[in-house]
Amino acid sequence: MAATFAKTGLAACVHLGRGVSIIELALPNAAKAAKPGHLISLQRLNPAGEATSACVVLPVFGVSPVAGARAEKLQVLVPRKHADLIAPLWPGQDVQFGAFALSGQAWDLDFAGFDALLLVGENESAAHLVMLAQHLASGKAHELTLLAGAETREAMPWFKLLSFLSDAGVSLMPAAPDGSFGHRGEVFDPLVSELEAGLARDKRIGVIAAGSLAFVHRAAELARDRGTLCYVLPTDRFGCGKGLCGSCELPTQDGGALRVCSSLALVSAQEVDWPKFSLS
Ligand code: FES
């Protein structure tokens, strides 16, 4: 998608704690076009319209009002590491952003071969899976589970906003090692339990993992060891989000490379040449 630039104000901002916020931007065209897999590039502008921050690539979290032709606002999760994008902020402040048209690639959503899909993410990377879970839930064709791992409950304050997913039939499974957030331990524990329980019932299961390269590799190994397909989204490698910088590139088994942000579908872990990375 071509990168066009638009100025927009802040329609709403919800501070969720620990420097994490959800912002709403009045970008009706982008909100109508937003699909799972899309990213948006934002930078802060001063009153003269000049950029005062670096351009950062963030996941589209949702649209408001929820989905459809009436969608007018784009919801974007601003993680703690990009909190400067909206700070300082006070009531009535006129905050302006420069927004580039949606980037990333809307995912090719043909999961017809699966009975159940396990979406697993760590920290803010799990936000990349929210629109996908919502989209899939509307089709009612799969059992859906969203597993989210964080260090503590406080590290993932936006998870409490996902009741609309459980209302739509998505099972939500948080996990944190300190026991403050669902399962006490790694999110891979419930991932393995869900995988094995589904396989024992002869379900055709797919795993979609979003997070650091090490995280998605671990999810892919756990899936592979159980004969299950895994798609990976290594979100910590996103730079430009537009297919230009090469930072998200994954080497493939056939000697090629895939730019994750602009590939035509989620990347199958089987295609990736993992030994090219030093991962344990
Ligand atoms: S993030 Fe720059 S090419 Fe994908």
| CATH assignment at residue 23 | 2.40.30.10
Q: Is 248 in the pocket of ligand 1 (CB under 6 A)?
A: yes
Query: For residues 127 and 61, what is the distance between their CA atoms, to the nearest angstrom?
Result: 6
Same domain, 135 and 199: yes
The domain in which residue 139 lies consists of 116-276
Q: Is 3 in the pocket of ligand 1 (CB under 6 A)?
A: no
Same domain, 123 and 253: yes
**Within-domain flag for 109:** no
Q: Is 104 in the pocket of ligand 1 (CB under 6 A)?
A: no
Same domain, 91 and 135: no
pLDDT of residue 1: 41
Q: Is 264 in the pocket of ligand 1 (CB under 6 A)?
A: no
Predicted TM-score (pTM) of the model is 0.87
Query: For residues 42 and 101, what is the distance between their CA atoms, to the nearest angstrom?
Result: 10
Same domain, 19 and 152: no
pLDDT of residue 40: 87
Q: Is 261 in the pocket of ligand 1 (CB under 6 A)?
A: yes
Closest ligand 1 atom, CA of 238? 1
Query: For residues 107 and 38, what is the distance between their CA atoms, to the nearest angstrom?
Result: 8
**Within-domain flag for 111:** no
pLDDT in tens, 108-123: 667 888 999 999 999 8
Mean pLDDT by 10 residues, the chain (280 residues): 67 82 87 85 85 85 71 86 76 73 71 93 90 87 94 87 92 96 96 97 95 95 96 86 86 90 78 82
Give the distance (Å) from ligand 1 centre to CA of residue 272: 16
Give the distance (Å) from ligand 1 centre to CA of residue 228: 28
**Within-domain flag for 9:** yes
CB-CB contact of 108 with 267 (8 Å): no
